[in-house]
Chains A and B, each alone.
Chain A
Amino acid sequence: MYVYLYDNFLKQKRYESVLKAMETKLTDYGIAGKIIRLQHYTSAEILVEDEIRKGAKSIIIVGNDTTFGHVLSRAASCKVTYGFLPVGSENSIAEVLGIPVGVEACDVLARRRKLRLDVGWFNNKYFVSQLHIPPSNIAIEYDESFKVSSNSGKMELVVCNLKPFIWTGKGKDYVVHPQDGKLEAFLRPIIKGKMLKREQYESPSIFPFEEMVVSSKTPFPVETDGQISKEIKITIKLAKSRIDMIVGKERKF
């Protein structure tokens, strides 16, 4: 049995036609199912667990990167097959998974090409897209073997699981696609500009890793899948083969 979790933003009129076309295609493939509309206060874990108890075999997330992160960061431990139907803008994870945005995603879903995906884990929470620490005075230790610091003090840290890392430098946009099997950490120290120029980011340092400890003397903000918390010490790990996911042929890993 298929259960479709629709994001709240899909209520908007401009998504009506896409959703209608999707639902028709899913019915044609014989994989239409129950539709649940997610609210801001909905606990994805309880919802998914409840649906599994009622007989759901596949949970399909319908929405964008935020919806994907919101559901899987809480429900990654649930033993069920996940699918994704990306709709609208802000869909960089779909590209990594090889799922086209819109009606064509139904074809990928119908083919049921399954893969076990890794997820990031920090302080007893999962993250599927990215972990972001804005510029802070942090010290980082990788895999208990080496420490990384910056001459200039403050550093920004982005740990990518499925969401690509994008940054702008020298008037160009750069994109790095993460791959499955390891987490990638992108460190950008802040350097002072010459004369009256404001502070700017240095080009990123990249370290693939399996375990990382980030610590600081003062609390620093940590942003994962739309949630922000303040921490003093965090351990980031890779939880291997945690999610059973339907992916496309054109996936990036």
Chain B
Amino acid sequence: MFKPNNDEQYNPSYNASNEPDEVETVVGPSVVVEGDFASEGNILVKGTVSGNVKTGKLLTVEHGARILANIKAGSAVISGSVKGNVRVLERLELTESAQVDGDVTCKTLVVAAGALVEGKVVMKGIEIEGIKNDKKKSSLRSKVKLASDDKSDK
């Protein structure tokens, strides 16, 4: 992550894609964060966070790291363990060592073999007409049925 001093200096105001970005927040391996943790820039977690984590940018949870609460992020790469709901706006990547105990909501999901998820997975944008029509038809039928029942009562 950090570049050596000699030629290129690590500048936290720039992300990997060289677009201007906020400072990167790093939680070290033996560091414990307690409480709600929000950042405007990218977050890299190597230690333990006991509280909600929120960022509009990239959240990276390294192998061995733990988050014990809900996550909200622009995009996320999870290799550690998370006990809580994960809500990602764009891309969520679960690597082979990832363990998620909670519901997952995202736009794009990448799951490596070996990743563990125990919870509901919701991805917006699903367009399967059959399911929607069936649901609509069944709800219409029930409404019609109720209306006919009312008439017969009168």
Contacts and interface: CB of A to CB of B under 8 A. Distances in A.
Nearest to A153: B30
B28 A146 contact: no
A172 B2 CA distance: 10
Nearest to A184: B23
Given A145-B38, A208-B39, A173 B32 contact: no
A188 B127 CA distance: 50
How would you classify the secondary structure of chain A's contact residues: helix, strand, loop or mixed?
A: strand
Contacts, number: 89
Interface residues of A, number: 31
Contact of B29 (A145, A166, A202): A202
A252 B23 CA distance: 13
Interface in A58-91: none
Interface in A193-225: 202-208
A202 B39 contact: no
A151 B30 contact: yes
Nearest to B35: A146
A179 B31 contact: no
How would you classify the secondary structure of chain B's contact residues: helix, strand, loop or mixed?
A: loop
B72 to A, nearest CB: 15
Interface string B43-54: 000010001000
A174 B2 contact: yes
B9 interface: yes
Nearest to B1: A203
A95 B100 CA distance: 45
Given A146-B36, A147-B34, A187-B28, A175 B23 contact: no
Interface of B: 2-6, 9-13, 22-39, 41, 47, 51
Given A177-B9, A177-B11, A206-B25, 6 more contacts: A149-B34, A152-B30, A173-B6, A184-B12, A205-B31, A206-B26
Interface of A: 145-152, 166, 172-177, 179, 182, 184, 187-189, 191, 202-208, 252-253
